[in-house]
């Protein structure tokens, strides 16, 4: 008892001394840096810089007041970013908060974010346990009588100066070790500041889009006769990965309908150019690509191209509008319906399964007076929470309900995920059946997923998508095409070329040009070397759109050996290393 009292007394003395708070706050501010030191692929001096430079700055900043509690409360935004960063590290295993993560936060609706937050409980608890007591200590520091002495503050300011100089030296050292090292990219929190600026810049560019794209014209025409009715349906998938599609060799029955559909063509080696919805879908809907992404801000989408060529156009979405380019593009259609948003605007709780989109298609198809029709469907597909994506009656793989997302629950998660793929299979088959039933209608459907998903697939324990560095599982997506008999009669070569190119390596930037080619839409913006239905389709090196919106070849996006092994196992093309090339040459 005596001993216990002694400890309490000593703690009491400690916490009546402002110096205790000073050092605790310094340590807390450096926690994200300590984690990043272990997780980031940095040169040795880069790791040192990660501690020394910010350490020196916080040492100096914390001397700004005689009560460090005031400073820590002023640094609240830093603590919030720190918490965000730690949760992301828990989720992805590495990488700093990316521009896309910041934009995702802005473009993801709150319901979706909450769905996810519930599943991140361990990380959230950890973060709360770290930062909540810090803020309480901040209040205590403000309220106690003690003050940092002038001598202590001067002394630590001097120390901070010395540490800072050492830090600057390590920055140079890091640059010598790796010429691509940059403080704005690799030094936390400088990189957060840089990414935040980029995110704001992009957000503003997107907000100005109406103005910057106002005068854009495709100059599109179609020379096909009105006597043939034409209907084209583009289905934008969500979070479906090729690995779990029966068509792509998955041993489970996830494509019971499509695998029995005659004449279906699927692209075995299709990769997405971006792993976040708000970047990937605009690439599919427009001429923008990883290679030339910024034209997004001045161009219009495929809906306008078809419209200019005389088509009636429609955009139906089972996702919520999120102020991204998907909304801008969707709004170009003659009919634009965000099914969920419409219901929610009326105050209804509405989270329908994708099959609801079929009703919208039915209504349009019923009007046979419309001779030319182009429909874009934006599905919710296999987006987390998987178990919410299909009705109870459609549960095929069991058990498929889980309370928490952990590696231990992987089998159950995959069951639920696979059930969602079956739902997409049924939806696509539903569309094909409807198109097939249209008399004398040249019809085609193209489906492609926007990106894949990680589901605790290897010892990295990755989960979800939109991570700053993609994985094989996020890149390899399913893409299928279907043509009606009347379409084959109208344009027999297209189906044949589509099938002949089915095994070639490609990325999602082919979708826009392929659909223009299928629809016979002629415009100077159509590039037939990117249309799989064209005799001019050409295989070129594949690119991925990085976080700073620059194209990166696959060998530079940061894929890990596990990913490259999956490329090999799935028979996908991967750029040969310089050593491989040299060896092949010498043979």
Please give the residue ranges that form the binding site for Zn ion (CB under 5 A).
Answer: 238, 277, 450
Cβ nearer to Zn ion, comparing 78 with 276 = 276
Choose between 233 and 236: whose C-beta lies nearer to Zn ion.
Answer: 236
**Minimum CB distance to Zn ion, residue 277 (Å):** 3
| Cα torsion angle, 365, 369, 375, 377, sign | negative
Shortest distance in whole angstroms from residue 238 CB to Zn ion: 5
CB nearer to Zn ion: give 450 or 563: 450
Beta carbon of residue 278, minimum distance to Zn ion (angstroms, whole number): 8
Q: How far is the CB of 152 from Zn ion (least distance, A)?
A: 52
Strand-pair category, 521-522 with 221-222: antiparallel
Quote the tokens at residue 304.
């306008």
* Chain mean position to CA 359: 29
**Do 428 and 445 form a contact (C-beta atoms < 8 A)?**
yes
- The residues, ordered by sequence, that sit 6+ positions from 401 with a Cβ below 8 Å of its Cβ are 387, 412, 416
Nearer to Zn ion, 42 or 98 (CB): 98
Closest separation in Å from C-beta 273 to Zn ion: 13
Query: Cβ of residue 317: shortest distance to Zn ion, in angstroms?
Result: 12
Vertex 222 angle, CA 447 and 330, to 5°: 45
When the beta carbons of 31 and 413 are compared against Zn ion, the nearer one is 413
| Residue 269 phi, psi dihedral angles, 5° rounding | -120, 55
Query: What minimum distance in Å lies between the beta carbon of 34 and Zn ion?
Result: 32
User: Smallest gap, in angstroms, from Cβ of residue 49 to Zn ion?
Assistant: 35
Of 380 and 525, CB closest to Zn ion: 380
In this structure, are residues 70 and 142 in contact, taking their beta carbons and an 8 Å threshold? Answer: yes
The residue written with tokens 């139906």 in the block is: 316
Q: Which is nearer to Zn ion, 222 or 244 (CB)?
A: 244
- For Zn ion, the nearest residue by Cβ is 277
**Structure token pair of residue 508:** 């999602």
Token couple for 342: 């419409």
Paired tokens of 404: 């928490």
- If DSSP codes are grouped into helix, strand and coil, which group holds residue 380? coil
Phi-psi region of 323 (alpha: psi -120 to 50; beta: other; left: phi over 0): left
Of 247, 220, 270, which Cα lies nearest the Cα of 498?
270
* CA-based R_g, the chain, Å: 27
What's the rounded Cα separation, in Å, for the pair 443 and 335?
19
Q: Nearer Cβ to Zn ion, position 244 or 277?
A: 277
Phi, psi of 532 (to 5 degrees): -70, -15
**Smallest separation (angstroms) from Zn ion to the CB of 324:** 11
Look up tokens 């027999």; give the residue.
Answer: 492
Cβ nearer to Zn ion, comparing 277 with 484 = 277
């Amino acid at each position: 008892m005596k001993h216990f009292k002694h400890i309490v007394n000593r703690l009491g003395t400690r916490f009546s001394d402002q110096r205790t708070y000073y050092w605790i706050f310094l340590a807390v501010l450096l926690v994200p840096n300590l984690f990043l030191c272990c997780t980031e692929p940095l040169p040795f001096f880069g790791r040192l810089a990660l501690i020394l430079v910010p350490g020196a700055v916080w040492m100096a900043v914390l001397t700004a007041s005689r009560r460090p509690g005031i400073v820590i409360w002023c640094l609240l935004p830093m603590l919030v970013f720190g918490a965000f960063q730690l949760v992301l590290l828990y989720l992805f295993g590495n990488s700093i908060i990316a521009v896309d993560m910041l934009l995702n936060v802005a473009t993801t609706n709150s319901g979706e974010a909450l769905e996810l937050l519930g599943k991140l409980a361990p990380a959230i608890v950890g973060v709360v346990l770290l930062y909540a007591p810090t803020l309480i200590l901040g209040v205590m520091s403000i309220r106690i009588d003690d003050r940092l002495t002038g001598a202590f503050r001067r002394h630590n300011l001097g120390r901070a100066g010395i540490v800072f100089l050492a830090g600057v030296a390590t920055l140079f050292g890091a640059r010598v070790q790796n010429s691509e090292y940059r403080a704005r990219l690799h030094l936390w929190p400088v990189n957060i500041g840089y990414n935040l600026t980029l995110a704001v810049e992009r957000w503003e560019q997107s907000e100005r889009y109406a103005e910057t794209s106002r005068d854009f014209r495709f100059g599109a025409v179609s020379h096909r006769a009105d006597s043939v009715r034409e209907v084209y349906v583009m289905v934008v998938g969500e979070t479906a990965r090729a690995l779990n599609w029966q068509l792509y060799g998955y041993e489970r029955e996830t494509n019971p309908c499509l695998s029995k559909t005659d004449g279906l063509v699927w692209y075995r080696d299709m990769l997405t150019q971006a792993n976040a919805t708000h970047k990937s879908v605009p690439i599919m809907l427009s001429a923008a690509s990883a290679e030339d992404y910024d034209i997004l801000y001045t161009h219009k989408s495929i809906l306008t191209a078809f419209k200019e060529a005389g088509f009636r156009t429609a955009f139906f979405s089972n996702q919520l509008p999120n102020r991204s380019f998907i909304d801008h593009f969707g709004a170009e259609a003659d009919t634009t319906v965000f099914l969920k948003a419409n219901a929610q605007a009326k105050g209804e709780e509405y989270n329908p399964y994708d099959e609801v989109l079929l009703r919208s298609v039915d209504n349009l198809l019923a009007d046979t007076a419309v001779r030319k029709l182009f429909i874009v469907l934006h599905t919710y597909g296999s987006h987390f929470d998987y178990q919410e994506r299909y009705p109870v009656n459609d549960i095929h793989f069991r058990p498929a309900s889980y309370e928490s997302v952990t590696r231990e629950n992987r089998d159950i998660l995959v069951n639920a995920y696979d059930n969602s793929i079956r739902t997409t299979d049924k939806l696509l088959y539903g569309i094909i059946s409807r198109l097939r039933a249209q008399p004398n209608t040249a019809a085609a459907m193209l489906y492609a997923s926007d990106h894949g998903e990680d589901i605790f697939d290897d010892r990295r324990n990755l989960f979800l998508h939109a991570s700053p560095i993609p994985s094989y599982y996020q890149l390899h997506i399913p893409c299928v095409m279907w043509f009606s008999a009347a379409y084959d009669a109208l344009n027999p070569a297209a189906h044949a070329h589509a099938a002949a190119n089915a095994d070639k390596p490609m990325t999602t930037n082919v979708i826009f040009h392929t659909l223009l080619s299928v629809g016979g839409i002629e415009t100077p913006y159509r590039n037939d070397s990117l249309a799989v239905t064209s005799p001019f389709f050409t295989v070129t090196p594949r690119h991925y759109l990085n976080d700073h919106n620059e194209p990166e070849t696959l060998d530079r996006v940061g894929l890990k050996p596990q990913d490259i092994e999956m490329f090999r196992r799935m028979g996908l093309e991967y750029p040969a290393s310089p050593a491989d090339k040299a060896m092949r040459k010498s043979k």
